[in-house]
């Protein structure tokens, strides 16, 4: 038997006339060149990354609150002082028996704003935001930061002078009493925050004191009222009817509505409700308005859910979300403290703007549905209307004081225009009618300041379960030349006119008693 031997096909690897291997093989030199290029790129990326962290981010790393070197400095450095707008001290440092620095705080009312500086639990609030300045770690030589392995050497400690007025802050905390809630007061023309109250408060000094820190902090963390939560900036609430002002801004600025806009179907729907995709939206004031087709001012005064639902539907989901974004919705606010993002909708739907359908859009237009807001956000809404459509950047620190590098004054800064001046003026008049009109007074009792034009909007935020609704009010005074804007929320405080509106009225009156009547 003859054996057949099959030979494997081989490719011709002889060098051709061009000097390259036939069949696609590479020379050793070509492979070496390619490998060298890859290695060069890899080393370039490593060098770039090292340069970024050692140069561009050197200062941030050197001054980070959790940097061990910074923690060590904090044990012995006397942090700079923090004072209010009138010069009253809010936080200062003393040395204990061991010669180490211990922070002292003047009042529990400022705990959610100033925060604490603790050896065990680090920093919070303004103590964290301006940790580097208070420890004297700003203005460090960039070369030393780059070559010192991110070590930090303190220079002259700086201090903070706040826009906050301790008198107003105490008044706001006292007005909230034992309720859980928040108050934000600001100058709408400058963005200066005058009060930023959250209740319940806590004893920041007990967290700063090593002898009581652990016991105090553990008790606060276990407290079901969540006293460590700064409700004014991180608390997110269903807004209820105060959100109607956002809908009005969106409708007016987008051109969907005008101050004179009426909806023919609104009067008839007052009796049986407005049917939207099988869901009925109802009002409770039809006996007061009868067959009248309401315009912007009338609908705002009567807090007409049906008019605002129709306005929201006409404006559309995209415009509602886009116009709200001009006010700060959808992202953290540019502020001295961390803020939660307010939202018009959760954005999971397939309808324009991310709404599920027109039912959700109509509900959002009067502040229900998936809409949630922070008190600071709603204070900015009121401030934008009060300031003729111009929204100022909110800020808590007026000046970083001292002689060291980084000392500076922080002045007013326009953030953005959110609506035309004429539209803002029309909305100011509508909000004044909501406080001082015959029907409006029934929703905002106690908000009006005697002798001073007062504008506002109350809200009763239904929570969809048992218990009282959240009580809301936003407003400003005097109308047309506002000096003060305010937002108040009282958790499970009932109707807006029962708790939040009179509380806001008293606090605005306190402002004018302190700063003078216009």
> What is residue 47's predicted lDDT score, i.e. its pLDDT?
65
- Return phi, psi of residue 162, to 5°: -90, 160
3-state class of 360 per DSSP? helix
- Cα dist from 389 to 254, 312, 335, 383, whole Å: 14, 20, 20, 8
pLDDT at 213 over 90: yes
Strand pairing of 82-83 and 89-95?
A: antiparallel
pLDDT at 57 over 70: no
Going by pLDDT thresholds of 50, 70 and 90, the confidence category of residue 334 is very high
405 part of a folded domain: no
355 part of a folded domain: yes
For residue 467, the enclosing domain spans 240-396+411-515
Average pLDDT, the chain: 89
> Which range has the worst mean pLDDT, 45-59, 102-116, 330-344, 501-515?
45-59
137 part of a folded domain: no
Mean pLDDT of 398-421: 96
- Total domain count, the chain: 1
308 part of a folded domain: yes
Burial of 477 from C-beta contacts in 10 A (0-12 / 13-18 / 19+): buried
pLDDT tens digit sequence for 238-252: 999 999 999 999 999
pLDDT tens digit sequence for 300-311: 999 999 999 999
Instruction: Pick the more confident residue, 137 or 471.
Output: 471
CB 411 within 8 A of CB 385: no
CA angle 311, 445, 274 (to 5 degrees): 25
pLDDT tens digit sequence for 190-205: 999 999 999 999 999 9
What tokens appear for 146 in the block?
A: 């780059």
Please state, for a pLDDT cut of 90, what percent of the chain lies above it: 75
CA-wise closest residue to 488 among 513, 471, 469: 471
CB 469 within 8 A of CB 463: yes
Q: Which residues is 123 bridged to in the sheet?
A: 117
> What is residue 463's predicted lDDT score, i.e. its pLDDT?
84
- Return phi, psi of residue 183, to 5°: -135, 135
Q: Pseudo-torsion of CA 431, 437, 442, 447, nearest 10°?
A: 50
pLDDT at 344 over 70: yes
pLDDT at 59 over 60: no
Place of tokens 């300041």: 449
CA-wise closest residue to 160 among 336, 359, 340, 414: 336
Tell me, what CATH number does 372's domain have? 3.40.710.10
What tokens appear for 262 in the block?
A: 């009426």
CA–CA gap between residue 489 and residue 412 (Å, rounded): 26
CA–CA gap between residue 54 and residue 362 (Å, rounded): 52
> Which range has the worst mean pLDDT, 51-55, 141-145, 386-390, 420-424?
141-145
59 part of a folded domain: no
pLDDT tens digit sequence for 436-477: 999 999 999 999 999 999 999 999 998 877 789 999 999 999
CA 284 to chain centre: 33
What tokens appear for 407 in the block?
A: 């000392």
3-state class of 348 per DSSP? coil
147 part of a folded domain: no
31 part of a folded domain: no
Place of tokens 């016991």: 215
Q: Which residues is 161 bridged to in the sheet?
A: 83, 399
- Give the count of beta carbons closer than 10 Å to the beta carbon of residue 147: 11
What tokens appear for 328 in the block?
A: 């700060």
CB 168 within 8 A of CB 513: no
CA-wise closest residue to 75 among 115, 119, 131, 117: 119
Going by pLDDT thresholds of 50, 70 and 90, the confidence category of residue 255 is very high
340 part of a folded domain: yes
Going by pLDDT thresholds of 50, 70 and 90, the confidence category of residue 49 is low
CA–CA gap between residue 93 and residue 81 (Å, rounded): 7
What tokens appear for 391 in the block?
A: 């929204």
CA-wise closest residue to 310 among 338, 260, 354, 276: 276
């Amino acid at each position: 038997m003859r054996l057949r031997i099959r030979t494997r096909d081989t490719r011709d690897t002889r060098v051709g006339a061009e000097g390259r291997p036939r069949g696609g093989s590479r020379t050793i030199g070509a492979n070496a060149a390619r490998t060298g290029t890859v290695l060069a790129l890899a080393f370039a990326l490593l060098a770039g990354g090292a340069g970024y962290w050692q140069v561009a981010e050197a200062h941030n790393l050197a001054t980070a609150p959790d940097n061990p070197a910074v923690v060590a400095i904090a044990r012995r450095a006397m942090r700079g002082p923090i004072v209010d707008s009138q010069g009253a001290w809010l936080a200062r440092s003393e040395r204990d028996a061991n010669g180490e620095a211990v922070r002292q705080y003047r009042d529990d009312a400022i705990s959610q704003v100033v925060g604490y500086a603790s050896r065990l639990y680090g920093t919070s609030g303004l103590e964290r935001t301006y940790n580097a300045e208070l420890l004297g770690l700003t203005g460090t030589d960039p070369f030393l930061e780059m070559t010192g392995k991110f070590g930090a050497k303190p220079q002259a400690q700086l201090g903070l002078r706040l826009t906050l007025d301790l008198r107003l802050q105490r008044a706001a905390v006292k007005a909230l009493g034992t309720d859980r809630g928040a108050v934000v007061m600001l100058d709408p023309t400058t963005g200066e925050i005058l009060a930023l109250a959250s209740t319940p408060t806590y004893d920041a000094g007990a967290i700063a004191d090593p002898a009581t820190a652990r016991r105090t902090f553990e008790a606060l963390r276990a407290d079901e009222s969540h006293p460590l939560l700064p409700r004014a900036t991180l608390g997110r609430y269903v807004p209820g009817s105060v959100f109607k002002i956002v809908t009005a801004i969106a409708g007016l600025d987008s051109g969907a509505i005008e101050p004179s806009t009426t909806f023919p179907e609104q009067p008839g729907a007052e009796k049986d409700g407005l049917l939207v995709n099988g869901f009925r939206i109802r009002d409770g004031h039809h006996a007061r308005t009868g067959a009248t087709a309401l315009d912007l001012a009338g609908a705002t005064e009567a807090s007409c859910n049906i008019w605002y639902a129709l306005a929201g539907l006409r404006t559309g989901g995209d415009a509602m979300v886009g116009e709200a974004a001009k006010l700060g919705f959808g992202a953290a606010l540019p502020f001295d403290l961390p803020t939660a993002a307010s939202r018009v909708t959760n954005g999971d739907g397939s309808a324009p703007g991310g709404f599920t359908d027109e039912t959700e859009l109509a509900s959002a237009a009067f502040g229900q549905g998936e809409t949630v807001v922070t008190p600071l956000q709603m204070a900015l809404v009121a401030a934008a209307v009060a300031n003729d459509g111009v929204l100022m950047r909110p800020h808590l620190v007026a000046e970083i004081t001292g002689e060291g590098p980084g000392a500076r004054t922080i002045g007013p800064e326009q953030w953005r225009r959110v609506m035309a001046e004429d539209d803002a003026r029309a909305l100011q008049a509508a909000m004044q009618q909501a406080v001082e009109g015959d029907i409006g007074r029934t929703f905002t009792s106690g908000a009006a300041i005697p002798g001073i034009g007062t504008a506002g909007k109350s809200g009763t935020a239904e929570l969809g379960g048992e218990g009282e609704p959240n009580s809301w009010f936003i407003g400003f005074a005097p109308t047309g030349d506002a000096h003060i804007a305010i937002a108040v929320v009282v958790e499970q405080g009932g109707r807006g006119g029962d708790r939040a509106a009179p509380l806001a009225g008293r606090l605005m009156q306190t402002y004018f008693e302190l700063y003078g009547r216009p």
